Amino acid sequence: MRIIPGCLIVAAASFGLAPSSPELHNRYGLSDLERFTVRPGITATVEYGADRLACQIKIERYRSIVGQDPETAPRISVQEISEVLEELVPRAVRGKEISNSSFQSSACGVGNSNEFENVTISQSLSPCQDSSAQIIFKRDICPKVNGLPHIEPLPGNH
């Protein structure tokens, strides 16, 4: 008979082990980085500036922050990347196109970079691996590296 109350106490305690989002926000304030599921298996990770507006967005296949990535997530197509880009930074928001460059480091390392008045968009368009994209907003409040907006290398294009 004592087993049931003991199990209930252990079960109740286990729910309190992992902090919830509201608990973390109450303790540490607003997050400067968030990840959203924009399509099944596709995430958009957003880094905010001090003004709480997006500075960088990375669109990619879902990845676990610890451990192995699930192989069950569907591959991301160029079409899906284009649709998500249009949702996050519609053409009217991007401004006038300043430059467009393509690169190919191998049969699998294919991509392009488009610089607009308000954003720079880099895409990995590899036929061998998932497509992905990075959006860098050109705003004074956003972090810069060596005078340029911070941008990480896309997978497969190192």
pTM of the complete model: 0.76
* pLDDT tens-digit readout, 12-54: 445 568 888 889 889 998 888 999 999 998 999 999 999 999 9
Burial of 134 (C-beta count, 10 Å sphere; 0-12/13-18/19+) = buried
Sequence-distant (≥ 6) Cβ neighbours of residue 155 within 8 angstroms = 60, 124, 129, 130, 132
* pLDDT tens-digit readout, 123-140: 987 766 778 999 999 999
